[in-house]
Amino acid sequence: MSVAYTAVLEVSEDSVLFLSALLHAERVRRGTRQRTRALGTYKQAVLVLRWFLDDTRMSALARDCCPALKMSTKAAL
C-alpha cells in the first residue's frame, strides 16, 4: 500500500531553469532529436534535483515521474 502526496522541493525556480537550460544545451550538442526522450528538460531537471537533494530512490523517481519511465524501469529490473 502506498500514499500519494505532493512535496515542495527546497530549491529556487532559477536553479531548475538553469539546470534545464544546461540539459537542453547538452541535448543539442549531442544531436538528440526532438520528442525522443521520456522527459522534457524541465521535468528532468526536477528529477535530478530530487535525486541529489532528497536522495530519492530511482524506483520512486520513475514511479512519480511518468508512465514511460515506469515501463522502462520495470523492463530494466
Contacts 24+ apart (CB under 8 A), 29-35: none
Q: Domain extents for the chain?
A: 13-76
DSSP H helical ranges for 1-77: 13-30, 41-54, 58-65, 67-76
Output the tens digit of pLDDT for each of the chain's 77 residues: 566 667 788 889 999 999 999 999 999 999 999 888 878 899 889 888 888 888 878 777 777 776 555 555 455 55
- Other Cβ atoms within 10 Å of 37 Cβ, number: 14
pTM of the model: 0.71
